[in-house]
Amino acid sequence: MRLKNKVAVITGGAAGIGKATVQKFVDEGATVAFCDVNDSLGNAFMQELGTPHSYHKVDVADRSMVQRWIDSVAAQYGRIDILINNAGITRDAVFVKVKDGQLVKQMSEEAFDLVIAVNLKGVFNCTQAVAPCMIKQGGGSIVNASSVGGLDGNFGQTNYAATKAGVVGMTKVWARELGGSNIRVNAIAPGMILTDMILSMPPEAQESLKQKPPLKRIGTVDEVANLYLFLASDESSYISGETIRIDGGMVNGT
């Protein structure tokens, strides 16, 4: 019960790492308000959890929608102790592809803008909405989802890597700016995690991915949820401004 009497807000909580984190926090005693853009998954999960937890359909890229949600959570529960900025998307494409001297393919402006809006601006929107509540109550913990792609880069992910690198930068700034109000801000950087996307791959493709990390396996969503839990709890009370990799020991170029 490491989160007993805590109120946690979690974005992208209806599936994958987000869902595992919601369940982990509930099991550890937190009251959880989670959001997602997939209403069917969100409502189905909410039926499993029941009260006092809550679900809202929220697009984190929509500033006014985020503010209304956070205001309602603060009004309902009276406080917000933890923010997990987990929501994120990918729209992978090569930056440019030239064949015989002619441009044949490139990442679209729409794909770039959408990933920036969700993965970077969404984190900004949610944190700025929650921070005043945490300041008034005298503290809190904010954990942002970065990625090894933001630290090392990844082929075909100009947009995604840019957002995840940006999250690392914002995490450091906010740790400095909010630390005086007893608010800790950290980030996690997952590597290959066994989500639905990887599970949908052919077995031989999954086996190939397993060979990349030194630990020779793909991480689980529960392992990522455990790291979120540690950084959200008082066990990490003197850790702030950090980005912690959870990637099985992957080293760029190996």
Residues 6+ apart with CB under 8 A from 162: 115, 116, 120, 150
Cα distance between residue 174 and residue 178, in whole Å: 6
In the chain, count of helices (H) and strands (E)?
A: 10, 9
31: β partners? 7
DSSP of 91-157, one letter per residue? --B-SEEEETTEEEEE--HHHHHHHIIIIIIHHHHHHHHHHHHHHHHT-EEEEEE--HHHHH--TTB
CA within 13 Å, CB half, 123: 28
Residue tagged active-site, from 77, 160, 228, 238: 160
Tokens of 110: 């729409």
Cα distance between residue 10 and residue 126, in whole Å: 10
> Is residue 238 flagged as an active site residue?
no
CA distance 90 to 115: 6
Q: Which residues are catalytic?
A: 160
